[in-house]
Amino acid sequence: MTGDVDLGWTPGFQAALDALGGDLAERAPARLARIDRGWSTLWYSAAAGRRADAPTGAPAVDPAAEVRVRNIGADVAVGDWVVPDADVQRIDAVLARSSAFVRRASFEGDRAEAHTIAANIDVVMLVHTLTTPPNQRRLERELVLAFDSGARPVVVLSKADLSDDPRRTVAALAAVAVGVPVHVASGVSGAGVDELHAYAAGGSTIALLGASGVGKSTLINALVGRHARHTEDVRFGDQRGRHTTTAAELVALPGGGWLIDTPGVRAVSLWSSGHGIERAFRDIFELMDHCRFRDCKHDDEPDCAVRGAVAGGTLDPARLDSMKRLVAEEAALEAEQRVQERAMDRRGVRRPRPKH
């Protein structure tokens, strides 16, 4: 089975398909490769959903197997495995996700909405550029979302060819990426790209996330070895990107594996609450185990190991503040979601919970 036709299909997805039961479980599933306003582009795979007793499988991935269906009422993201209706006009079911990178999409009024950037990803590459000052707070947020997604986070520091001395930026970002690999790469010179390629082993799906202009699409072009994605110069003065990539899209890696290019996002706000904060701030949580009081707030309690670390210079107080802010944001979000759910219950509608 080559990466060209399996699209990342696994026994887990087969089980999810079987669990749909009935007619749905007998249909050929497809992977959602791109979303445009109102439309999803689907790819079929030779491997997906093929049963031993079936004479032939679904068609292999080729342009002829690419179909477009309407997005009516389907809550889908790029990377999803879906079951289209028999006429391949719309999506009838979305298979249970193995992971999903979800952020809060809007702050309009009091209606919070989730935006799933990518689904069924094995590795999330959080891309930051070496050409701007390190943004530790942004990386911390991204790491929380990445850990909550269920995928494995990796940090990629891009544009290595433009940085004379990347050490300070690397050190600053590595300091907040506790236990997470940090790679330095350049999509232009090709430096470090082989190391990133290794994450695709076994036909994995890798999503690249980061602010506009950090070089996600350029890295993808370097990884696939051709100009698969359009890129655009950043603004000269402030190095900000131009939001060149406008839709998330699945890209095949020669030799196996899948990449998901995503549009740069300005803000990363929390949506789900799992163990993301605990994992992203593992260092602080380990310290907390050594506070004298189990309910220590790390304010002015005696024998507080967290404040001890700040006083001793081993914990940056800005990182502690950042964690406290994220904990508060998560608590506010949970309260807000409870209110919304109650309102929906009263109206007799139930919004499906994020599927992951």
Applying CB under 6 A, which residues contact ligand GTP? 158-159, 161-162, 186-188, 210, 212-218, 231-234, 241-245, 263-264
Contact 207, 219 (CB under 8 A): no
Applying CB under 5 A, among 47, 234, 306, 326 the residue interacting with Zn ion is 306
Q: How far is the CB of 254 from ligand GTP (least distance, A)?
A: 19
- Could you tell me whether strands 113-119 and 258-261 are parallel, antiparallel, or unpaired per DSSP bridges? unpaired
Q: Which stretch binds Zn ion (CB under 5 A): 4-12, 93-101, 137-145, 305-313?
A: 305-313
Q: How far is the CB of 72 from ligand GTP (least distance, A)?
A: 28
Q: How far is the CB of 157 from ligand GTP (least distance, A)?
A: 10
- Which of ligand GTP, Mg ion, Zn ion, none binds 298 (CB below 5-8 Å, type-dependent)? Zn ion
Q: How far is the CB of 276 from ligand GTP (least distance, A)?
A: 23
Binding track over 237-256 against Mg ion, x by CB under 5 A: -------xx-----------
Could you tell me which of 247, 196, 187 has the C-alpha nearest to residue 216?
A: 187
d(CA 222, CA 323) in angstroms, rounded, equals: 35
Contact 99, 122 (CB under 8 A): yes
- Which of ligand GTP, Mg ion, Zn ion, none binds 304 (CB below 5-8 Å, type-dependent)? Zn ion
DSSP symbols for 184-229: E--TTT-TTHHHHHGGGTTT-EEEEEESTTSSHHHHHHHHHTS--S
- Could you tell me whether strands 258-261 and 205-210 are parallel, antiparallel, or unpaired per DSSP bridges? parallel
Q: How far is the CB of 164 from Mg ion (least distance, A)?
A: 25
Binding track over 245-284 against Zn ion, x by CB under 5 A: ----------------------------------------
- Which of Zn ion, ligand GTP, Mg ion, none binds 283 (CB below 5-8 Å, type-dependent)? none
Could you tell me which of 31, 42, 39 has the C-alpha nearest to residue 6?
A: 31
217 binds Mg ion (CB under 5 A): yes
Q: Secondary structure of 222-277 in the HEC alphabet?
A: HHHCCCCCCCCCCCCCCCCCCCCCCCCEEEECCCCCEEEECCCCCCCCCCCCCCHH
Q: How many residues does the chain have?
A: 356
Applying CB under 5 A, the residues found at the interface with Zn ion are: 291, 296, 298, 304, 306
Applying CB under 5 A, the residues found at the interface with Mg ion are: 216-217, 244-245
